[in-house]
């Protein structure tokens, strides 16, 4: 039975009958096989408007919103009328903290606020599918023959793998399935490499990186996540 969520995702995605095929790389950088990507996730319609909206949401949610100014109520002093109302020939004034005066309060200035907003989960998933489809069409998806496993957290070993894959200085996103502390520590000091669990990466992660790497096992987990 098809759930309402599945129906909503299918309604927003236009399927393509072509099954994308990409190369499978060994950790030594050699092409060892071919792999068929799921066309519903990696060859769907690219929804540019939805991609833009999702990235704007991520950027807005990162804003701290700390900008602040003081109104006349927040500035000390100014309780006494500077001069009498009439007879001086000067303009009427009730406080030296008036917004018209130097050192006075600010009118309509910024105050701390939350810029964040949310989007439906279905729309966020469709945006990720659009991003992955765009990367597939630009030949920026790389499949690894197996998940990376490190016996020791050696950055040198990770750099060697990236060099073999010709990605050492290229912004790349590595998506993994099983949390491995050694893997996280080995990649920590490589500025061009980002790591995300298959259940955590988002549209901005996909679009900001020149290459997307994951194993065959992770591919299946990504498909399950986005199509469930």
Q: Are residues 93 and 147 in the same domain?
A: no
Q: Are residues 91 and 21 in the same domain?
A: no
Q: Are residues 202 and 176 in the same domain?
A: yes
- Name the H helices within 138-180: 155-164
Q: Are residues 195 and 86 in the same domain?
A: no
Q: How many domains does the chain have?
A: 2
Write out pLDDT tens, residues 44-96: 999 999 999 999 999 999 999 999 999 999 999 988 999 999 999 999 999 99
Q: Are residues 220 and 204 in the same domain?
A: yes
The residues near 180 (Cβ < 8 Å, ≥ 6 apart) are: 148, 149, 150
Q: Are residues 132 and 194 in the same domain?
A: yes
**C-alpha pair distances (Å), 28 with each of 50, 106, 107, 137, 166:** 37, 62, 63, 25, 10
Of 214, 228, 225, nearest in space to 37 by CA: 214
Q: How many residues in the chain?
A: 228
Q: Are residues 10 and 94 in the same domain?
A: no
Q: pTM of the entire structure? A: 0.82
Q: Are residues 101 and 17 in the same domain?
A: no
Query: Which run of H or E residues covers position 160?
Result: helix 155-164
CATH code at 214? 3.40.1370.10
Write out pLDDT tens, residues 176-216: 998 889 999 999 999 999 999 999 999 999 999 999 999 99
Of 41, 46, 25, nearest in space to 163 by CA: 25
For tokens 């903290």, name the residue. Answer: 97
Of 72, 75, 133, nearest in space to 99 by CA: 72
Write out pLDDT tens, residues 134-191: 999 999 999 999 888 888 889 999 999 999 999 988 999 999 998 889 999 999 999 9
- Look up the domain containing 95 and give its range: 69-109
Q: Read off the pLDDT of each residue in 20-35 and give the average, rounded to a whole number.
A: 92
């Amino acid at each position: 039975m098809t759930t309402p969520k599945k129906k909503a995702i299918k309604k927003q995605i236009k399927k393509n009958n072509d099954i994308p095929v990409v190369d499978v790389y060994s950790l030594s950088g050699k092409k060892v096989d071919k792999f068929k990507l799921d066309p519903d996730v990696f060859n769907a319609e690219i929804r540019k408007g939805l991609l833009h909206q999702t990235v704007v949401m991520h950027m807005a949610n990162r804003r701290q919103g700390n900008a602040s100014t003081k109104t006349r109520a927040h500035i000390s002093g100014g309780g006494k009328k500077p001069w009498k109302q009439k007879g001086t020939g000067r303009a009427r004034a009730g406080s030296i903290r008036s917004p018209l005066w130097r050192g006075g309060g600010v009118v309509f200035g910024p105050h701390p606020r939350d810029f964040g907003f949310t989007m439906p989960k279905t729309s966020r998933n469709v945006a990720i599918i659009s991003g992955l489809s765009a990367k597939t069409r630009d030949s920026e998806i790389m499949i690894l023959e197996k998940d990376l496993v490190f016996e020791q957290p050696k950055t040198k070993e990770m750099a060697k793998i990236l060099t073999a894959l010709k990605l050492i200085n290229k912004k790349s996103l590595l998506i993994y399935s099983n949390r491995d502390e050694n893997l996280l520590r080995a990649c920590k000091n490589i500025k061009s490499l980002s790591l995300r669990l298959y259940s955590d990466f988002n549209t901005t992660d996909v679009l900001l990186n020149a290459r997307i790497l994951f194993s065959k096992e992770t591919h299946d987990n990504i498909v399950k996540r986005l199509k469930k």
